[in-house]
């Protein structure tokens, strides 16, 4: 019986070539004792690399208006809507909580909980996130915890299951599924953020209809939707869900580029209302969607990849969908290096295959099985999504990964290098000299820091 290689065998450690034969033999004996496959290593040159250029700090001018108290705003809008008047005293009301990382989710959920209690209901939270968390109930509760959503913070119980009830077959052929606990509740309130999706930036994208299809559908519903064509299913499945489930209202949220809520709207439980709200609020959200303001970059350094950031770990609307689908290289970011995986992803590194380089830190947090569950659930006709899951070239430290990636880009003497936190947080950029010069001519950018070296620690890492 063969064993899989440890992910650590994928990490190139530049110190290897300086180990003596005795230490190598000890390591190999230890590996054999564990039953690992042992690779016979031969001396090799150190990897080609280029020194990292100095970077300057830049801020993007993004709309900053936002709702200062989302808890009160949500509570008032729900109570004033009259939609909760259908609640009878003691009714069990399920409230969805997703995995996309609404920054103010604790406040918004608390506002919903308080509005339900004001109306006489008995609220509880259910994870609504398709196949995330390894498609296990415990995993999905853990993801909520990492967002700060616990029974203590939202002051109500959290109940989770992966079991569903089938509601019928939609026009696309997808079977509509509904979380079993939600199906047994006396009412459901669907919370969703309206935003462009990596695979869809217009019409119906991430929003109420997708939450009703994939979130409430759990793994089974998510797989049915993807297998039968995601976006057509997102428009078809909720017709069954809204017809058969006891949905009381939708709560739609739009965020600005700082991930603060700028609009919260309560939506009646009607298919046309859900669809029209998704379309209308997507247009409202678009002015708040930030992008990297350069069409050509030699090396993009991404501090974080994660499922709380984007469905593809890094938003294809930012890095270019050609990395998944092929076609014109627009924007043309020649090399991408990803430094870490967000804790909220719970090991799901989907999207790392879109990068060119990564680090030991990423692989330490990467769970192949959890990633593959999500990847296979999201399999769609005509889409080669398997390339999103496997890691790219992995180096021992941030410095190693960045310097080797910069060499690989074959950049000119003055390389165009950009560093970002993640593709959802683009209010700040760190730019090399050629990009910084262009930024000084861009009225939407503020250069507020001189060129300075990247600060690596003794291990060669930035954080």
Return the pLDDT at 347: 98
Query: pLDDT at residue 16 above 90?
Result: no
Report the alpha-carbon distance of residue 254 to residue 266 in Å, rounded.
12
Q: Exposed, middle or buried, 48 (CB in 10 Å: 0-12/13-18/19+)?
A: exposed
Structure tokens given for 298: 């030699």
Report the alpha-carbon distance of residue 4 to residue 13 in Å, rounded.
20
Q: What is the helix (H) or strand (E) element at residue 220, kind and residue range?
A: helix 218-227
* pLDDT tens digits, one per residue of 240-298: 999 999 999 999 999 999 999 999 999 999 999 999 999 999 999 999 989 999 999 99
Return the pLDDT at 5: 39
Biggest alpha carbon–alpha carbon distance for the chain: 76
Query: How far, rounded to the nearest angstrom, does the alpha carbon of residue 139 sit from its chain's CA centroid?
Result: 16
Which residues lie closer than 8 Å to 401 by C-beta, 6 or more apart?
A: 337, 339, 357, 358, 359, 394, 395
Query: pLDDT at residue 62 above 70?
Result: yes
Q: Which has the closest alpha carbon to 342: 378, 366, 318?
A: 366
What does DSSP say about strands 164-169 and 175-179: parallel, antiparallel, or unpaired? antiparallel
* pLDDT tens digits, one per residue of 399-450: 999 999 999 999 999 999 999 999 999 999 999 999 999 999 999 999 998 9
Measured CA angle at 332 (ends 50, 350), to 5 deg: 85
Report the alpha-carbon distance of residue 48 to residue 43 in Å, rounded.
15
Mean pLDDT value across residues 55-64: 97
What does DSSP say about strands 332-341 and 187-193: parallel, antiparallel, or unpaired? unpaired
Report the alpha-carbon distance of residue 402 to residue 456 in Å, rounded.
11
Q: Rounded to whole angstroms, what are the CA distances from 312 to 79, 315, 378?
A: 36, 6, 11
* pLDDT tens digits, one per residue of 128-185: 999 999 999 999 999 999 999 999 999 999 999 999 999 999 999 999 999 999 999 9
Q: Give the range among 186-190, 194-198, 199-203 with minimum mean pLDDT.
A: 199-203
Return the pLDDT at 39: 60
Which residues lie closer than 8 Å to 204 by C-beta, 6 or more apart?
A: 210, 231, 234, 235, 275, 278, 279, 282
- Residue 380 phi/psi, 5-degree rounding, is -125, 155
Return the pLDDT at 14: 55
Report the alpha-carbon distance of residue 48 to residue 52 in Å, rounded.
13
Residue with the larger pLDDT of the pair 100 and 353: 353
Share of the chain above pLDDT 70, in %: 90
* pLDDT tens digits, one per residue of 64-107: 999 999 999 999 999 999 999 999 999 999 999 999 889 999 99
Tokens 């959920």 correspond to 109
Do 253 and 191 form a contact (C-beta atoms < 8 A)?
Answer: yes
Query: pLDDT at residue 24 above 50?
Result: no
Do 139 and 133 form a contact (C-beta atoms < 8 A)?
Answer: yes
Return the pLDDT at 3: 32
Return the pLDDT at 449: 83
Query: pLDDT at residue 201 above 90?
Result: no
Mean pLDDT of the chain, nearest integer: 92
Do 374 and 343 form a contact (C-beta atoms < 8 A)?
Answer: no
Q: Exposed, middle or buried, 355 (CB in 10 Å: 0-12/13-18/19+)?
A: buried
Structure tokens given for 160: 């989770």
Query: pLDDT at residue 38 above 60?
Result: no
pLDDT band at residue 332 using 50, 70 and 90 as cut-offs: very high
Do 119 and 88 form a contact (C-beta atoms < 8 A)?
Answer: no
pLDDT band at residue 4 using 50, 70 and 90 as cut-offs: very low
Q: Exposed, middle or buried, 210 (CB in 10 Å: 0-12/13-18/19+)?
A: buried
Report the alpha-carbon distance of residue 358 to residue 347 in Å, rounded.
15
Phi-psi region of 32 (alpha: psi -120 to 50; beta: other; left: phi over 0): alpha
Do 434 and 414 form a contact (C-beta atoms < 8 A)?
Answer: yes
- Domains of the chain plus CATH, in order, are 1-40 (no CATH), 47-62+291-447 (no CATH), 70-287 (3.40.50.11440)
* pLDDT tens digits, one per residue of 107-116: 999 999 999 9
Beta strands in 259-346 (DSSP E): 261-267, 296-305, 332-341
- Residue 13 phi/psi, 5-degree rounding, is -105, 115
Query: pLDDT at residue 19 above 80?
Result: no
pTM of the entire structure?
0.91
Report the alpha-carbon distance of residue 363 to residue 361 in Å, rounded.
6
Structure tokens given for 265: 């709207």
């Amino acid at each position: 019986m063969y064993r899989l290689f440890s992910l650590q065998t994928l990490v190139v450690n530049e110190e290897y070539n300086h180990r003596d034969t005795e230490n190598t033999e000890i390591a190999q004996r230890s590996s054999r004792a564990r039953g690992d496959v042992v690779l016979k290593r031969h001396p090799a040159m150190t990897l080609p690399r280029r020194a990292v250029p100095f970077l300057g700090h830049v801020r993007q001018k993004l709309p900053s208006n936002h709702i200062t108290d989302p808890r009160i705003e949500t509570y008032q809008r729900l109570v004033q809507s009259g939609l909760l008047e259908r609640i009878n005293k003691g009714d069990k009301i399920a409230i969805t909580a997703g995995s996309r990382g609404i920054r103010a989710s604790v406040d918004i959920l608390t506002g919903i909980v308080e509005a339900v209690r004001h109306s006489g209901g008995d609220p509880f939270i259910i994870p609504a996130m398709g196949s995330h968390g390894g498609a296990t109930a415990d995993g999905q509760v853990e993801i909520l915890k990492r967002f700060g959503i616990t029974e203590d913070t939202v002051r109500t119980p959290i109940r989770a299951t992966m079991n569903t009830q089938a509601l019928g077959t939609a026009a696309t052929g997808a079977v509509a599924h509904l979380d079993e606990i939600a199906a047994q509740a006396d009412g459901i309130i669907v919370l969703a953020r309206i935003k462009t999706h990596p695979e869809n930036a217009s019409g119906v994208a991430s929003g109420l209809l997708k939450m009703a299809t994939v979130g409430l559908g759990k793994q089974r519903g998510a797989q049915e939707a993807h297998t039968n064509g995601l976006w057509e299913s997102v428009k078809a499945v909720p017709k069954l869900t809204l017809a058969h489930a006891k949905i009381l209202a939708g709560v739609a949220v739009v965020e600005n580029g700082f991930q603060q809520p700028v609009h919260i709207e309560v939506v009646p439980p009607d298919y046309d209302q859900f669809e029209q709200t998704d379309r209308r609020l997507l247009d409202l959200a678009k002015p708040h969607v930030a992008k990297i303001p350069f069409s050509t970059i030699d090396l993009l350094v991404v501090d974080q990849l994660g499922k709380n950031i984007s469905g593809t770990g890094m938003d294809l609307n930012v890095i270019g969908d050609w990395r998944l689908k092929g076609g014109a290289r627009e924007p043309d970011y020649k090399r991408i290096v990803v430094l870490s995986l967000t804790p909220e992803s719970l090991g799901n590194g989907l999207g790392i295959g879109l990068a060119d380089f990564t680090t030991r830190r990423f692989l330490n947090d990467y769970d192949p099985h959890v990633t593959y569950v999500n990847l296979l659930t999201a399999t769609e006709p005509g889409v080669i999504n398997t390339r999103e899951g496997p890691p790219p070239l992995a180096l021992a430290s941030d410095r190693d990964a960045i310097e080797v990636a910069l060499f690989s880009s074959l950049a000119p003497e003055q390389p165009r290098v950009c560093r970002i936190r993640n593709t959802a947080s683009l209010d700040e950029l760190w730019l090399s000299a050629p990009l910084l010069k262009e930024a000084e001519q861009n009225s939407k950018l503020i250069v507020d820091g001189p060129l300075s070296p990247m600060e690596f620690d003794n291990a060669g890492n930035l954080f």
